[in-house]
Structure formats: structure tokens, C-alpha cells
Structure 1
């Protein structure tokens, strides 16, 4: 049950990212197949702290200062982890050139 709830939080974040792309009218660039989605072949990126694109978890405190997650029962630990664990945050950028990495022409 725990693993399922953590994965559902991630799936919900991806759903909202897709919905934002739709509302901005840039979902026309979304791939039609699962492979393309997994390779993030759509316009924009959702950067999550603690992953290679944004490794410094301490930056989460800056986001928490802006969003005030305690208003909805989410708290930041001393280790910069969100609690409850089934919580997530991200920085979403929809610029056409946004990508996770650009090494050797891969984007």
C-alpha cells in the first residue's frame, strides 16, 4: 500500500504536468506512444529536487517558503524531505528548449 501511494503521487504530478501543457496549448507536441512519454519527448520539463537535474535538496526550503505547504498539511523535515512521504513538489518549465540534459545532442 505504501509503495502504491508513493507511485500514485508521482503519477498525479505527471497528470498535472500534462494538464498544464494542455491548457497552454502545447500538448500538440506530446508524443502519441508510451516510449516517447518515458523519453520526455514533449515540450517542457518538470524538475524535482533531489534528482540529477536539481540535486540540492536544500533548495526545497525556498520553494516551501513560497508555497507554504503547511496550509495543506505538508511539512518539510530538517533533512528537506516532504511529509507525508506521498507528497511531491517540482519546478515546471515549458520553454521549448527546456530539457533535463543536453549531452551530445540528446535532449
Structure 2
């Protein structure tokens, strides 16, 4: 995607997400509603690879994960309007 050269040089910058390519997982502040995971599961059909969604909207087996990956030059964690 041509964005790796923009990564911060220090850990503090990584922790402040001063880079493109953040991963947004359900249940965290950017996507707090775990019920949305059912919509994603309906589209992707994770049971094809042995992953199942529980009644509590958790993925099984443990350590399974899903995410929304966004690539846009102005996208960042809480402010889609650009970097501040």
C-alpha cells in the first residue's frame, strides 16, 4: 500500500497510533457493539474455517479474531477527518 515509510520511529508514536493501518476490533472503543460481529459473521461465514460465534458474540476457538481494516490516507482511530 506504500504506507510503511510513514511509521513512527519510536514506540511512543506507535502507542499513540501515529501511523496508517490501524485495526479496529469489535468490543473496543471505536466499535463497542459486539452484536455487530454477527453481521460480519453472516458475510464471511467463519464456520468454513472452524470458527464459530457464541450467543455472547465471542469467537471460538479462543484466540480467534476478526477486525475491520481501513486503508485511507486520512483515516485514523477516532477522527476520520484527518490527523490532528
TM-score, length-scaled by structure 2: 0.85
| Cα offset, 1:27, TM superposition | 0.9
Which of the two has greater helix per residue? Answer: 1
Q: Point out 4+ residue stretches in structure 1 off by more than 4 angstroms.
A: none
**8 Å contact kept, 1:44–1:97:** no
Question: Equivalent residue for 1:98?
Answer: 75
* Residue from 85, 99, 102 that aligns with 2:62: 85
Tell me the distance in 2 between the aligned counterparts of 1:32 and 1:67.
36
Please show how residues 1-107 of structure 1 align to structure 2 within 5 Å. Answer: 24-102=1-79
Aligned residues: 82
| Cα offset, 1:56, TM superposition | 0.6
Deviations along 1:46-104, whole A, 9 cap, x unmatched? 111011110111110111111111111110001111011201110011112212224xx
**What's the C-alpha RMSD, in Å, of the aligned pairs?**
1.8
TM-score, length-scaled by structure 1: 0.68
Gap regions ≥5 residues in structure 1: 1-23
**8 Å contact kept, 1:60–1:80:** yes
Tell me the distance in 2 between the aligned counterparts of 1:50 and 1:43.
21
| Cα offset, 1:45, TM superposition | 2.2
